[in-house]
Structure 1
Amino acid sequence: MSDDAEPTENISGGTEGWEAFADDGEEATTRAEAVVDRLGELYWQKAYGGRDAFECLVRTILSQNTSDVASQPAHDALMDRYGGDDKDLAEALAAAEQSRLAETISSAGLYNQKSEVIIDAAEWVLDEFGSEAAFDEFVRTGDPDEVRDTLLSVTGVGPKTADCVLLFSGGRGGVFPVDTHVHRIARRLGVAPADADHEGVRAALEQAVPAEKCGFGHTAMIQFGREYCTARKPACLDDPEACPMSELCDQVGVYPATGEVEDPADAAAGD
């Protein structure tokens, strides 16, 4: 697969703002880095940044608790109705009628809840920063910890959402957002503690993976989780050689001999 072949439907929102990743050619110093390097070879190696911060925030809220297959059409419909070159997205959404916005994003699921969160976020951006452009500048240039803490103060914005904004808009190195795929796979592979929660996995990966590799490590790990290491039927159950990560994987909670799969935390508890 070409290193440009990121999935069409991805939380990054497309190719705008991507930069080529310059590999220094040095050997990985941790197993987590080796995993990310292999995933990068399998999919792509890119540096991220350049997405509009508020649109990225909205896009990530839409992706919560659903797939890109469902959330991408919702994002497109929202932008068609409220966005565009001649519109200020934050102002349009702050003034939006909640029921109309909910109908617009209905394909994303939890649309009543998400529409309220999006309207509240738009109002917050305008109240706190005065404009969408000022919010964008804060995300791109502010202290990363302060940006993250500020985003987490917004109702409906959790760690993954905040980290995605930092990565895809701010282009911040050392940010490894953790969704359900990353949480599952990092623990199955054994590069994060089996009983770690999402924040524990994030901490483990950000400590073990070089800052410049965290971005594509996140997106490539998601794609690996979709194609090979699914929740209920990882590829290794059919054939140990079917998985391109086999020699780097501890198979925590996966038992090819019996075809059983359990959460890595449960597997660790049974040791």
Structure 2
Amino acid sequence: MADREPEQNISGGAAGGGREATFDPETAGTRAEAVVDRLGELYWTKTYGGRDAFECLVRTILSQNTSDVASQPAHDALMERYGGDGPANTGDLADALAEADQRELAETISSAGLYNQKSERMIALADEIRDEFGGAAGFDEFVRGGDPSEVRDRLLEMNGVGPKTADCVLLFAGGRGGVFPVDTHVHRIARRMGLAPADADHEDVRAALEEAVPAEKCGFGHTAMIQFGREYCTARKPACLDDPDACPLADVCDQVGVYPESGEVVDPAEAMD
């Protein structure tokens, strides 16, 4: 049976590497913070940080260009074989993947899609991390203890690691405050709501949100916007399209690119033309 949600909402705190956050839209300093605070009233907030950095990196790579439904089984299969008591475990996940047979690894993670490309990438990254940091433990120490900007820059130098992957490692492994990873949901919602310029790219959206949302709320804002994007603010048929009252954030949304009168939905950047 799945773990039950805690009786109280929590965000940050010592276990998460950050500070506890209070979600009160009435006292928010910016509209973006008010949106995050409203999401705090909708969804359970979590602690962030504490995941093994290399495993977090592997998990994020598996999730690229696929859904959680497909990537989670791939992650579980990988850890069953190369971590814990797995037959290919060497005591260190980076070392185990650096020594992995590419075809065997690809077969193990096949449910995640693009498995040949991802397996090659993970083996190369594992070898690089083993050489530079001595293995997963050294890499974890670097991510948790290094200067955040230096850690991010080093992650972005790694093949196949983009801004979202780097930020997810900083947030979920390092527990760093002020990190607001931007995936397709966050990118769409921030521009649609008017929290970022309609033509902003992923990095522009990240900069806008990290400037407007308090550091201790950024991690929750990322995960909550993803949840909100899946439940209400979908790409092709947002809840407000047929019924404005169906969206709990309709009153704070600019609806950029959403036209209920015609039933049309376009990318916010196209709405500027």
Do the two structures share a fold, i.e. TM-score over 0.5? yes
Per the TM alignment, residue 91 of structure 1 is displaced from its structure 2 partner at its CA by 0.9
Alignment equivalent of 2:129, drawn from 125, 128, 135: 125
Question: Which amino acid in structure 2 is aligned with residue 219 of structure 1?
Answer: T
Per the TM alignment, residue 44 of structure 1 is displaced from its structure 2 partner at its CA by 2.1
Q: Deviations over 1:111-150 (max 9, x none)?
A: 1111111111111110111121111011001000000000
Alignment equivalent of 1:203, drawn from 180, 184, 207: 207
CA distance in structure 2 between the aligned counterparts of 1:173 and 1:38, rounded to whole angstroms: 19
Question: Which amino acid in structure 2 is aligned with residue 231 of structure 1?
Answer: A
C-alpha change, 1:249 and 1:24, in structure 2 (3 Å) is closer
Return structure 1 stretches of 4+ with deviation > 3 angstroms. Answer: 2-5, 17-22
Query: What corresponds to 2:173 in structure 1?
Result: 169
Per the TM alignment, residue 41 of structure 1 is displaced from its structure 2 partner at its CA by 1.2
CA distance in structure 1 between the aligned counterparts of 2:46 and 2:105, rounded to whole angstroms: 33
Question: Which amino acid in structure 2 is aligned with residue 21 of structure 1?
Answer: E
CA distance in structure 1 between the aligned counterparts of 2:159 and 2:233, rounded to whole angstroms: 32
Over the residues paired in the alignment, what is the CA RMSD in angstroms?
1.8
Per the TM alignment, residue 3 of structure 1 is displaced from its structure 2 partner at its CA by 6.7
Report how many aligned residue pairs link the two structures: 257
Per the TM alignment, residue 4 of structure 1 is displaced from its structure 2 partner at its CA by 4.7
CA distance in structure 1 between the aligned counterparts of 2:23 and 2:248, rounded to whole angstroms: 23
Any idea what SS the aligned residue of 2:177 has?
coil
Q: TM-score, normalised by structure 1?
A: 0.91
CA distance in structure 2 between the aligned counterparts of 1:191 and 1:169, rounded to whole angstroms: 27
Any idea what SS the aligned residue of 1:46 has?
coil
Q: Deviations over 1:194-235 (max 9, x none)?
A: 000000100000000000000000000000000111110100
Does the 8 Å CA contact 1:185/1:229 hold for their aligned counterparts? yes
The answer on 1:35 being equivalent to 2:35 is yes
List alignment gaps of at least 5 residues for structure 1.
6-16
Per the TM alignment, residue 238 of structure 1 is displaced from its structure 2 partner at its CA by 1.9
Alignment of 1:45-194 (within 5 A): 45-84=45-84, 87-194=91-198
Alignment equivalent of 2:220, drawn from 216, 222, 230: 216
Does the 8 Å CA contact 1:3/1:45 hold for their aligned counterparts? no
Per the TM alignment, residue 24 of structure 1 is displaced from its structure 2 partner at its CA by 7.6
Query: What corresponds to 2:250 in structure 1?
Result: 246
Per the TM alignment, residue 52 of structure 1 is displaced from its structure 2 partner at its CA by 0.3
List alignment gaps of at least 5 residues for structure 2.
8-14
Query: What corresponds to 1:10 in structure 2?
Result: none
CA distance in structure 1 between the aligned counterparts of 2:41 and 2:171, rounded to whole angstroms: 20
Query: What corresponds to 2:268 in structure 1?
Result: 264
Question: Which amino acid in structure 2 is aligned with residue 94 of structure 1?
Answer: A
Q: TM-score, normalised by structure 2?
A: 0.90
Question: Which amino acid in structure 2 is aligned with residue 160 of structure 1?
Answer: K
Q: Deviations over 1:26-68 (max 9, x none)?
A: 7100000000111111112233100000000000000111111
CA distance in structure 1 between the aligned counterparts of 2:155 and 2:6, rounded to whole angstroms: 30
C-alpha change, 1:22 and 1:187, in structure 2 (3 Å) is closer
CA distance in structure 2 between the aligned counterparts of 1:75 and 1:124, rounded to whole angstroms: 20
C-alpha change, 1:185 and 1:4, in structure 2 (3 Å) is farther
Between stretches 81-90 and 30-39, larger displacement belongs to 81-90
CA distance in structure 2 between the aligned counterparts of 1:53 and 1:191, rounded to whole angstroms: 30
Any idea what SS the aligned residue of 2:27 has?
coil
Question: Which amino acid in structure 1 is aligned with residue 225 of structure 2?
Answer: M
Question: Which amino acid in structure 1 is aligned with residue 22 of structure 2?
Answer: D
Per the TM alignment, residue 73 of structure 1 is displaced from its structure 2 partner at its CA by 0.7
Any idea what SS the aligned residue of 1:155 has?
coil
Identical positions, percent:
78
Does the 8 Å CA contact 1:3/1:43 hold for their aligned counterparts? no
Query: What corresponds to 1:8 in structure 2?
Result: none
Question: Which amino acid in structure 2 is aligned with residue 92 of structure 1?
Answer: A
CA distance in structure 1 between the aligned counterparts of 2:55 and 2:61, rounded to whole angstroms: 10
CA distance in structure 2 between the aligned counterparts of 1:233 and 1:172, rounded to whole angstroms: 34
C-alpha change, 1:184 and 1:3, in structure 2 (3 Å) is farther
